[in-house]
Amino acid sequence: MFDRETIGLIGFAILFVLLILRVPVGLAMIMVGVGGNFALSIIAPYLRFEPYLAQFKTLLWGTVANYSLSVVPLFILMGFLASHSRLSRDLFQGFNALVGHFRGGVAMAAIGACAGFGAVCGSSLATASTMGKVALPELDRLRYAPKLATGTLAAGGTLGILIPPSVALVIYAIIVEASIIQMFQAAIIPGLLAVAFFIAVIALLVRLKPELAPETAVMTASEKRQAYLRLIPVVVIFGAIILGLGVGLFTPTPAAAIGATAILLYGLFLRFLNPEAGLSASGIKSSVLDTAVTSGMIYFILFGAEVLKGFFARAGLPAAMATWASESGVDPWILLILLLLMLIVLGCFMDSLAMILVVVPFFWPALVEINGGDYATAATAAYGLGLEDLKIWFGIVALVVVELGLITPPVGLNVFIISAMSRGIRMGEVFAGVMPFFGIEIIRIALLLLLPGLCLFLPHLLAG
């Protein structure tokens, strides 16, 4: 006879099998949640199935009718408006004017543009796809080595998930009941560190192997001036949003509304100046429709996560994990590293949002209770951090690891996207190009683990 925890573990395993088989994430969660609760009602009659089903009358509304979640469609709309306004091209050309005169400068400009677009888009996959369309043709035209061009864009795309504002950070903050603003603040230094490290990797590669990049691209003074003029408004809009969130000038939802409105007005202004540029009526329509589809998908995944969480709670898995963690005597750092390794593996075939929704509710209680004792003080004993600091630090580290999973062989999703856009370039060559960035990401993760202050400095500074 199976006990409740065993049923829960079987459900967990079935969930990952369904995900590997490419069953939609939200649907897989609902299937496992409902099926698992039915199995629990058979082995434990006191866990009746009918009352569980009755909660569905209000569960969907209770899941999505959350003010904190109202920021999600606004940030998504902001990203689609920016994409249809071709602001990604303005970002790339502007950064190219700044650093294009260095050897490898166009690849460095692609990293800067990925960071800028990621600040609006909030999705690593969308950042990789959009910037690949913009930067890859230019890198090909200038005869950059294919593995450097594709590796740069695959790695640069990972910046979308971390650099604030980020939808994944919003969802994580809601799950662990952390401050969304503090999560955004904590992501700034690690995000800038990633940009600096990626640019340093490119500079080192082209210094060691000059044949990877051509001689510097020359832009005329007129071309540079025009690129700067197009870059300035974009940087002002994005910078105002990030700065306003960072210093607490406004909360995430108003910030997203202001950002979407500013990009809409700027796109219309560009259209007024040049009918071939800016934001067209069809672009606005596509942005709204794409936002509705994407938001609906995210809300469906959130609903599925609630169904799954209910099954795990009835099966007693989170409590069992917490009990095991507090009584096993396992080193807290071993548990944390095992969890991070699991996230790297899952990142090969799962979306970042799905990973957060599946893994964090399951392991978070164990992470906090690893050293036993009171919930609010155990984290201090285990990691030398208070509970609120642990929420912030772990969230940033987890998202950086999720980024790494997107470029991890053999199934990094960002690599798949860039490879599909690079005709005639083998996927193995893309993976070879991404390996130097993979290595520097390992170093960044180690720094964040050893120096939590990199994540906590700004939240503490601005809170004071």
The DSSP string of 4-58 is: HHHHHHHHHHHHHHHHHTT--HHHHHHHHHHHHHHHHHHH-TTS-HHHHHHTHHH
226-236 confidence digits (pLDDT tens): 888 878 887 78
Length of the chain: 464
- Looking at the fold, whether 146 and 283 belong to one and the same domain comes out as yes
- Looking at the fold, whether 160 and 25 belong to one and the same domain comes out as no
| Distance (Å, whole) CA 335 – CA 319 | 16
277-303 confidence digits (pLDDT tens): 778 888 889 989 988 988 888 888 888
pLDDT-derived band of residue 377, with 50, 70 and 90 as boundaries?
Answer: very low
Q: Which of 293, 321, 352 is where one domain is finished?
A: 293
Q: How far is CA 274 from CA 174, 227, 280, in A?
A: 42, 15, 11
Q: What residue type is assigned to position 128 of the chain?
A: A
Average model confidence (pLDDT) across the chain:
80
- Looking at the fold, whether 127 and 243 belong to one and the same domain comes out as yes
| Distance (Å, whole) CA 412 – CA 352 | 12
Token pair of 442, please?
């390992």
- Looking at the fold, whether 15 and 75 belong to one and the same domain comes out as no
Percent of the chain with pLDDT over 90: 7
Query: Is position 398 within any domain?
Result: no
Query: Is position 400 within any domain?
Result: no
Direct distance between the N- and C-terminal alpha carbons of the chain, in angstroms, rounded to an integer: 56
Q: What is the mean pLDDT of residues 403-420?
A: 77
Whether the per-residue pLDDT at 193 is higher than 50: the answer is: yes
Query: Is position 460 within any domain?
Result: no
Question: How many distinct structural domains can be found in the chain?
Answer: 2
pLDDT-derived band of residue 97, with 50, 70 and 90 as boundaries?
Answer: confident
- Looking at the fold, whether 96 and 245 belong to one and the same domain comes out as yes
- Looking at the fold, whether 202 and 282 belong to one and the same domain comes out as yes
| Distance (Å, whole) CA 311 – CA 348 | 26
Whether the per-residue pLDDT at 374 is higher than 70: the answer is: no
Domain with 75 in it: 69-293
Percent of the chain with pLDDT over 70: 89
Whether the per-residue pLDDT at 373 is higher than 50: the answer is: no
- Looking at the fold, whether 257 and 108 belong to one and the same domain comes out as yes
What pLDDT, on a 0 to 100 scale, did the predictor assign at position 371?
46
36-62 confidence digits (pLDDT tens): 888 888 877 767 777 777 777 788 887
Query: Is position 427 within any domain?
Result: no
304-332 confidence digits (pLDDT tens): 888 888 888 788 777 777 677 666 666 77
What pLDDT, on a 0 to 100 scale, did the predictor assign at position 411?
67
- Looking at the fold, whether 194 and 106 belong to one and the same domain comes out as yes
Query: Is position 89 within any domain?
Result: yes
Q: How far is CA 460 from CA 36, 118, 166, 247, 453, in A?
A: 42, 25, 20, 11, 9
Q: Which residues contact 48 (CB under 8 A, 6 or more apart)?
A: 41
What pLDDT, on a 0 to 100 scale, did the predictor assign at position 437?
92
Q: Which of 262, 293, 324 is where one domain is finished?
A: 293
- Looking at the fold, whether 39 and 148 belong to one and the same domain comes out as no
What pLDDT, on a 0 to 100 scale, did the predictor assign at position 120?
73
pLDDT-derived band of residue 359, with 50, 70 and 90 as boundaries?
Answer: confident
What pLDDT, on a 0 to 100 scale, did the predictor assign at position 204?
93
Reported pTM: 0.84
- Looking at the fold, whether 114 and 25 belong to one and the same domain comes out as no
Q: How far is CA 166 from CA 221, 256, 374, in A?
A: 36, 11, 32
Whether the per-residue pLDDT at 200 is higher than 90: the answer is: yes
Token pair of 367, please?
């992470």
- Looking at the fold, whether 40 and 84 belong to one and the same domain comes out as no
Query: Is position 347 within any domain?
Result: no
- Looking at the fold, whether 42 and 128 belong to one and the same domain comes out as no
Whether the per-residue pLDDT at 265 is higher than 80: the answer is: yes
Query: Is position 298 within any domain?
Result: no
Query: Is position 369 within any domain?
Result: no
